[in-house]
Amino acid sequence: MLSLVSASSWRANKELKRKNLPNSRQISFTTTSMMLLVLLTFASLILTGNALDVQGRIIWNSACSVYKDLGKTRVVLDNGKFGGGVTQEGAFSIPNVSTGTYILSVLAHDHGFEQLRVDVLDESNVEVRPYVPGTPLNPASTILLPYPITLSAKQKFNYFVPPESFNIMGMLGSPMMLMMLFAGGMVLAMPYLMKNMDPEALEDMKEQQAKMAKMQSAMASGDFKSGFSALMSGFEEPSQAGAKAQPATGNTKKKSTKKR
């Protein structure tokens, strides 16, 4: 009997330990999660303790006179790392900005604003300087701008380009039109020039035109051989005429020497 009682008690203790084991694990898990939450809360408090809200205002001018013209606009630091909207009065606030150097930009669809350099030194000290895009941040400019920041639109974008109207001077000034006018003038002046030309020169010109027309027709029909032969014959004839003229001049010289 005693052995049976001891065995049953041992089994009961073992079952109790098994039942209590998940509870202990659950308790340890909850404690670690609570510690992590506390650490995260403490870290966030430290970070927000060194952060501030960068504030400013957009001044209405002739380029952007009212909020309706401005539309939906955001003021951002470092291309959206921090950002804030613009109210109807033109005020803006960028919350929880930590210490560091930033480039302030205004994201507006229809208006252009200048960029500024913003140095957050601590939770109560902010320095604003002008910034030219593409220039290095260091060394910093010696010019300090007032804080809270004041911005105004520099220009208004016009996305509508009106179509160009008919311009006769622009049409006449184009190279193609000048070439057409020159060709038309030559066609009109050619009869008057041909009347005053020497008959032999006129015949030569007509022969050259006939050869050129023959060559063009041969090229158009695909007979390149005859076209090139016609072209080469046109070049060979002047050279042959010059060669024939040279002996004639030599004979005249000999005759003149004999007479002497």
Which tens digit of pLDDT belongs to each residue from 54-93? 999 999 999 999 999 898 899 999 988 999 999 999 999 9
Confidence class for position 5, pLDDT limits 50, 70, 90: very low
Beta strands in 74-165 (DSSP E): 74-77, 82-85, 91-97, 100-107, 111-112, 116-122, 125-130, 149-152, 155-156
Q: How confident is the model at residue 209 (pLDDT cuts 50, 70, 90)?
A: confident
* pLDDT band at residue 195 under the 50/70/90 scheme: confident
Please give the average per-residue pLDDT across 14-31, as a whole number: 53
Q: How many CB atoms lie within 10 A of CB 229?
A: 14
pLDDT tens column, 25-35? 555 556 666 66
Query: For the chain, where do the domains classified as CATH 2.60.40.10 start and end?
Result: 50-156
C-alpha separations of 53 from 49, 78, 115, 144, 187 in Å = 12, 15, 18, 19, 80
Out of 2.60.40.420, 3.40.50.300, 3.30.930.10, 2.60.40.10, the CATH code matching 50-156 is 2.60.40.10
